[in-house]
Amino acid sequence: MDVYGLIGNPVGHSLSPPMHEAGYDALGIDARYVTFEPAPDDAARAVEGAAALGVAGLNVTIPFKRDVLAAVDADPLAERIGAVNTVAFPDGGSGTPRGYNTDAAGVTRSFARHDVPLGGRDAVVVGAGGAGRAAAFALADAGADVHVANRTTERAVELAADVPDATGGGLDGLDERVPAADVLVNATSVGMEEDATPVPAELLHGDLAVLDAVYAPIETRLLRDAAAAGATTIGGAWMLLYQGVEAFERWTGEDAPVEEMNAALRAALE
């Protein structure tokens, strides 16, 4: 039996185990997915320990996504984003662990699922943290023109300097940027288990596609406001699903059973 897992701290809230195990069961793969909670400064040791124990693959979440970079051979996208959320162990753990960032795929595959083209589109990413970095790089690599807006302007400008042809600014610029945008991503935690939104409803419009990375609640205030404006709405559960699907496919070499994994995730969110 293969063992896959997740390292994070805390990690008890994770929805990854039921989602991934539904995938294994659907394909008849003899595997299970477990969680590990190392001490906050033990990311590298956790990866080494997983390799020694024969763990077949790891997901990585807060606070380890940046720290794990030093313990793996990261692919170019993960290097540019500056974070790893998926680790593969080649040669049964005897080879150098490989690091990937599947959060970016979570963004692009969510838009593709909803038939939203990204090439040549004007995109606004709200938030310059880890999710914001993944979203900004994903959208730019897909051909979108990216503007990053953040409460702390300096962080938005710093992120934009790393992303090809991107711009950055404060939240006060949303009044100008969102009405002219084709794509909007909320990459902040605003709206998580609260009735709040990072973008005023009056800025939203019917030609917009809105992805909210927040997945609890499934329908955030931002998504309700966007739907009322006639926009295409994409909940954060899609991004969570597709980053997991991408990891599943990298580990197993199989096409993930997306619908079974999605059903398990939605059941866990209820």
For the segment 222-265, what is each residue's pLDDT rounded down to a tens digit? 999 999 999 999 999 999 999 999 999 999 999 999 999 999 99
Q: Is the pLDDT of residue 160 over 80?
A: yes
Question: Which CATH architecture best describes the domain 104-234?
Answer: 3-Layer(aba) Sandwich (3.40)
Q: Structure pTM?
A: 0.95
Q: Is the pLDDT of residue 93 over 80?
A: no
Residue 270 has a pLDDT of 85
Give every CB contact of residue 225 below 8 A, 6+ residues apart in sequence.
197, 199, 201, 204
Same fold across 2-101+239-269 and 104-234: yes
Q: Is 65 a catalytic residue?
A: yes
Tokens representing 62 are: 């807060």
Tokens representing 245 are: 């699907």
Superfamily name with CATH number, domain 2-101+239-269: Leucine Dehydrogenase, chain A, domain 1 (3.40.50.10860)
DSSP state, 95? S
**Mean model confidence pLDDT for the chain:** 96
Give every CB contact of residue 162 below 8 A, 6+ residues apart in sequence.
80, 133
Q: Average pLDDT for residues 167-192, to the nearest whole number?
A: 97
Taking a C-beta distance cutoff of 8 angstroms, is the pair 146, 122 a contact? no
Which H or E run includes 3? Answer: strand 2-7
For the segment 21-57, what is each residue's pLDDT rounded down to a tens digit? 999 999 999 999 999 999 999 999 999 999 999 999 9
Q: What is the sign, positive or negative, of the torsion defined by CA atoms of 228, 262, 36, 60?
A: negative
Q: Is the pLDDT of residue 139 over 80?
A: yes
Other Cβ atoms closer than 10 A to 112: 14
Q: Average pLDDT for residues 14-21, to the nearest whole number?
A: 97
Alpha-helix runs per DSSP H in the chain: 16-27, 43-52, 76-81, 103-113, 130-141, 153-162, 174-177, 221-228, 236-252, 258-269
* Amino acid in the structure at residue 128: A
Q: Average pLDDT for residues 153-177, to the nearest whole number?
A: 97
ω before 38 within 30° of 0 (cis)? no
Boundaries of every domain in the chain? 2-101+239-269, 104-234
| 4, 11, 47, 65: the active-site residue | 65
Residue 94 has a pLDDT of 73
With cut-offs at 50, 70 and 90, classify the pLDDT of residue 73. Answer: very high
